[in-house]
Structure formats: C-alpha cells, structure tokens
Amino acid sequence: MDLTELAGEAEAAGLACRGGFHPGPEDGLPGFADGSAVATVVLLGFVGAQQWTRFATSAEFADGRSDALDRWSRRQIDALAARHAAMAFYPSEGPPWWPFQRWAMRAEPVFPSPIGVLIHPRFGLWHAYRGALALRTRLALPAREPVAHPCESCAAKPCLATCPVGAVRVNGYDHRGCATHVAAPAGRDCLEFGCLARRSCPVGREYRYAPAQARFHMAAFIGERRDRNAGS
C-alpha cells in the first residue's frame, strides 16, 4: 500500500487525505499490541464542501442523535483502520487531547491564523481534520515544497475587524462571547452562513461551506457551548 492508494480508499469513504508524517519517540504515540511502533500517521478530513454530501446523506446525519459528524467519522475511519491493521485517533478524544493542529502542520502546509483555525494556502479556512490513521508501515511521503504563510502577505486582515462583537482579537478569541452572539437573534447571519470573520478571509473563497454545512457546524458550536455551561 502507498499513500495514493490510501487516499483513494479515504475518498471512497467520503474523506480527504490530508497528508502524513513519520512520528518519532518524542510524539508519544502508543505502540501496537504486538510491540510494533507507529511508522506513519496519515490525517483524514474535509476540504471545502467536497465531502459534505457523503455525510449529509448518512444514517448518522438523519437519526437526530447528538455528535452525528463524530459518529460518522468514527465509522468510516475505524473501518479503514481495521482494513489496514492500523490505530485510529480522533480530535474529540480526551483528555488528554491528541495534538491534531501540531500533527497537521507536520503533514501539510497549514499555518496558524489570527482566528485560531489553521489556514491552508489553497483551501483557506475551509477545511477540517476528522481523524488520523497510525500505520505500522513507513509510507513514502511527498516532499514538502516551501509555501508562504498566507496571512503574512495580508495587510488588511479583515478577519480581525469583521466580527460584530469583537470576539476575534489579536491576543485571543472570546469563545463565550462568540457563542452568545451566534445564539441570539443578532447573530442569525453567522448562524445561517457561518462565522462572519471566517467568511471575510480572502484565501480559498471558492471552498467556502455552503449554507447547510455552515449552519450544521454553527449549531453544533452553540450546542457544545451550552453543554459546557451546563456542566460548569
């Protein structure tokens, strides 16, 4: 098996291959039950709206239960892991939480953005990581070509000036203030079409989420915030 074959299997399952890296002991990944070490980690996820249709037509999306996207992702990625005798890791596992942002920056050219979401030079802020496969096999990975950080050439930085409640700041992100706004009538635009600050970014605009996809993620964001408040 090579990375191209695995990417094809992922695509057939409704996921995009987001690159990979060869971990070392410093990464702290557990070994396999037979004592084998992890030789390659491959990240899987979404880019733009390309994979959305597969999830939106799934049983998990339709069943009305919580965590639909997490459950669908686990079903797809667990099946790939079983096929290749691999281990699966997920951003929602924890604590402790797996360092998906750090893994992503090792796997492909993504960079921290002012609003916290990693920015990709092609997809902009319109992408996500749904899980990772840890493989025993050391796959050949494509060479990383130098790529400039998209935000460094963006003088205007509209993402820092567009949020209606100033939740996006140079020195941090007001998670509570954002969620409160989105849940209120004044935040209907963000709820229906996605974060206004995120939409203001000029990079990868052609990959923006469609309204149904944006609405799903924003509703999940509000629900997550309410769950946290209920537990505090």
Mean pLDDT, all residues of the chain: 92
Given a contact cutoff of 8 angstroms between Cβ atoms, the answer to whether 91 and 144 are in contact is no
Q: E strands within the chain?
A: 16-21, 40-47, 87-89, 111-112, 118-119, 127-135, 168-169, 172-173
The length of the chain in residues reads 232
pLDDT over threshold 90, residue 119: yes
Q: What is the pLDDT of residues 149-186, one digit of tens each?
A: 999 999 999 999 999 999 988 878 888 899 999 999 99
H-type alpha helices, 146-185: 175-183
What φ, ψ does residue 205 adopt, rounded to 5°? Answer: -60, -30
Please give the Cα distance from 30 to 32 (Å, whole number): 7
Given a contact cutoff of 8 angstroms between Cβ atoms, the answer to whether 132 and 27 are in contact is no
Task: Please give the model's pTM, rounded to 2 decimal places.
Answer: 0.91
Given a contact cutoff of 8 angstroms between Cβ atoms, the answer to whether 126 and 46 are in contact is no
Given a contact cutoff of 8 angstroms between Cβ atoms, the answer to whether 74 and 82 are in contact is no
